[in-house]
Amino acid sequence: MRYTSVVSNQGGLSVPRLFVAIDLPDAVKDQILRLREDDLPPARWTRRDALHLTLHFIGDASERQARRYGQALQQVEASAFALQLGGVGQFPVDSRPRVIWAGVGNSPDLRALREAVGRALQHSGHRLERRRFHPHITLMRFKKPLRRGLASRWLQAHQDFYIEPFIAREFALYESQLRPGGAVYTKREVLALSPP
């Protein structure tokens, strides 16, 4: 597997908060952002540069742990594969939403990559979350749960949201830093998937 080390937080005082994710092509981000034309106040929309598909959330990690995770992820063997976005939904599912998302097809290739990433993280000492994997792209968040009727109307209006399949060619180990304008994500390691 080919990889690129992007940043190093040598000597940084803050503890990195890490996750592993697939970045989206610019054309896909452009299509997602068209949903903003139908705003849903008081939503805080995900910034264009922050749109991604999370494979595994790691959480706070020391710089040493972060390097160990990056090295472990270099051992992941997987091929590039097609991803498809379609539909919209909310979290939590059965109450007033705090998050609105775009769905991602949970293909066998996506599950295989996620499992391979999970094994690599476990072998490097990380305890995996037990939550069921629900692949999605976070579109917007609400500081307070939104009134159910507002969300229902928006979700109904966009239930047929669909983006043509695209090829996922890499994944990355990200670092998240909380800033006044929201979280800023930086790629620490970029890991290329093998040609299909």
Block means of pLDDT (10 residues each) for the chain, 196 residues, are 55 76 98 92 92 98 96 98 97 89 96 98 93 96 84 94 97 94 92 95
Query: Could you tell me which of 115, 151, 160, 148 has the C-alpha nearest to residue 133?
Result: 115
Residue 44 burial by Cβ neighbours in a 10 Å radius (0-12, 13-18, 19+): exposed
pLDDT, position 156: 95
- What distance in Å separates the CA atoms of residue 160 and residue 149, rounded to the nearest whole number? 19
pLDDT, position 11: 46
Which token pair is 181?
A: 């304008």
Enumerate domains of the chain plus CATH numbers. 3-8+26-192 (3.90.1140.10)
pLDDT, position 79: 97
pLDDT, position 10: 46
- What distance in Å separates the CA atoms of residue 67 and residue 158, rounded to the nearest whole number? 41
Q: pLDDT tens, 41-56?
A: 889 999 999 999 999 9
φ/ψ of residue 112, rounded to 5: -65, -45
pLDDT, position 41: 83
- What distance in Å separates the CA atoms of residue 174 and residue 189, rounded to the nearest whole number? 7
Query: Could you tell me which of 3, 143, 134, 159 has the C-alpha nearest to residue 67?
Result: 3
- Helix locations, the chain, DSSP H: 26-33, 63-73, 108-123, 148-157
